[in-house]
Structure 1
């Protein structure tokens, strides 16, 4: 609903840290687009574990706040000086926080245009996870043809993209999953070997698969107690990429242990520094769009909730009921 000066929309607002119940569906006022900004009507927003970390207080955030970093929709209004975007353009974004809303104001230097062949709702569940996979595989550790790699949570949103993209690069992929039900998902996205946590010792299995050599890189978005075991999967001078902690915080690490384990490398990357400039943002998005449009990576929205059902979506995500990409529809 519009007036001469005020724009309002429905959004999810967090007034205090806590469980999914702190996600409140409310009406908010949206700033009109200023110079270099546009107003975007969201067709969908992406659900990510980052949203859970911020809602729960694991990552600090000043309250009240609107969660969510990822969304896609159509430009509805443009501010002064905007030349590269027009009303009606299909766009997506991965920052800043505040995507859990029907309307958002965004700076054009943080927007990407969606190419033909990428549906708006698909983009809402693709961009953050897909651009995460891009920097992990191409820049944090550059995966090469012929390598064997380990991907934890292979049936998850990032995991499914990582595995498909790694296969396209020519790697052999070992994936871990949390249940037998998720084995088929991991196999469908290109895992050559699937390990079910709780049924197999993934360290022993990785060494069996690699004839005792270990893998050059482990991609771990799970964290928790499995982190230290993952170090034992690495070949000498291997790289541990801990990009998330869905299962809980990573235990303290004595870096002196990395020498005897094989002069290992450990990194905790985040997407932000990899897409800090507009040029890097667009390059990462273009690389992602290329592999999707060429058919090397297929991403389908697996779960859809109304925005008003965000609390239920968060609860299901934390209970590991969801696999693949999930979107919230305003």
Structure 2
């Protein structure tokens, strides 16, 4: 397809300054592929890992980061039957999404229903499917369960809190600063612990009624690992996620207390086939249409300001979902 597009390119791994806005030719879709005009692209922690050189080592430089977004189909390649030009779609994992056009495998796309705008759709794909996996499949929350949610004012934490609540659970949210507490409460957290130093376990046990929580959702890295174990009740579950901050190191399984269970949750397992991707995405969209799930957009940035978006996310001062919005006025 003729014409040019705007994209964010990295020629080397490094700090946010390696992200540079460029102009490139608009690609054409091949067999089984769809060309989409991007209306909004999600900014995720995994994008930080790509930028630093932790992930995508098999993809040569220069490369366009980003994996998540929503937009409208421009053209379809041969053998594509599920989508047509003009249709609105969203995706959780299509490399190269920091651009105003992207070529996506048709199998990676989901249709977006009327009533959900592009920014809302982009906001719930990766983080919403992640939260869905955690609370409906990895540890299916039951009515009355008490969950401790780390980073409760972040993109995953806010969606996870809402899904736990709609399944009948109670939420103790942990946030790193007092300014984030009201945001966590607005999402439905029953209690909020303000803690930046990993001193949260005793308070979580107290708030749970003294027995400990049924499940901890912890993507905060090694600094919180021991506290998360200490917060669990007998036979409780620790849902560990987020590869960017690293793991807790070797574990002696026979030293684990209170018959607890530990697992590493990966959102890709939730959407391992196109059918599962579309089914779980449709559930998220239905919750949104029913008013049970409300994404929180923390900040919007121009494509040219992708470096600033990364720096803001790494500062841990942001809340909600960060989006790159092609065409956003500067």
> Residue in 2 aligned with 1:72?
70
> Residue in 1 aligned with 2:39?
43
Instruction: Give TM-score, length-normalised by structure 2.
Output: 0.94
Q: Is the 8 A contact 1:258 1:264 kept in 2?
A: no
Match of 2:268 among 269, 272, 276: 272
> Residue in 1 aligned with 2:28?
32
Q: CA deviation at 1:257?
A: 5.0
Q: Is the 8 A contact 2:155 2:296 kept in 1?
A: no
Q: Distance between the aligned counterparts of 2:35 and 2:249, measured in 1?
A: 43
Deviations 1:247-302 (Å, cap 9, x if unpaired)? x322203132553x122221112112221211110111011112111111111322
Match of 1:102 among 61, 76, 100: 100
1:21-170 matches, within 5 Å, as: 21-61=17-57, 62=59, 63-170=61-168
Q: Distance between the aligned counterparts of 1:170 and 1:311, measured in 2?
A: 39
Give the unaligned 5+ runs of structure 1.
none
* Cα distance change of structure 1 residues 200 and 42 upon mapping to structure 2, 3 Å threshold: closer
Q: Is the 8 A contact 2:175 2:196 kept in 1?
A: no
Deviations 1:55-109 (Å, cap 9, x if unpaired)? 1123353332211110110001111222221110000011131100111111111
Q: CA deviation at 1:29?
A: 3.5
> Residue in 2 aligned with 1:8?
4
Q: Distance between the aligned counterparts of 1:133 and 1:58, measured in 2?
A: 23
Q: Distance between the aligned counterparts of 2:143 and 2:192, measured in 1?
A: 20
> Residue in 2 aligned with 1:256?
253
- Partner SS for 2:126: helix
Q: Distance between the aligned counterparts of 1:307 and 1:76, measured in 2?
A: 20
Deviations 1:294-318 (Å, cap 9, x if unpaired)? 1111113221000110000100110
Deviations 1:157-208 (Å, cap 9, x if unpaired)? 0100111111111111000001000010011011111000148831110111
Instruction: Give TM-score, length-normalised by structure 1.
Output: 0.94
Q: Distance between the aligned counterparts of 2:269 and 2:187, measured in 1?
A: 28
Q: CA deviation at 1:12?
A: 1.0
> Residue in 1 aligned with 2:240?
242
- Partner SS for 2:179: helix
Match of 2:315 among 309, 315, 319: 319
Q: CA deviation at 1:53?
A: 1.5
Q: CA deviation at 1:234?
A: 1.1
* Cα distance change of structure 1 residues 317 and 198 upon mapping to structure 2, 3 Å threshold: closer
Q: Is the 8 A contact 2:31 2:79 kept in 1?
A: yes
Q: Is the 8 A contact 2:198 2:227 kept in 1?
A: no
Q: CA deviation at 1:54?
A: 1.4
Q: Distance between the aligned counterparts of 1:301 and 1:198, measured in 2?
A: 23
1:214 aligns with 2:203: no
Q: How many residues align?
A: 324
Q: CA deviation at 1:116?
A: 1.1
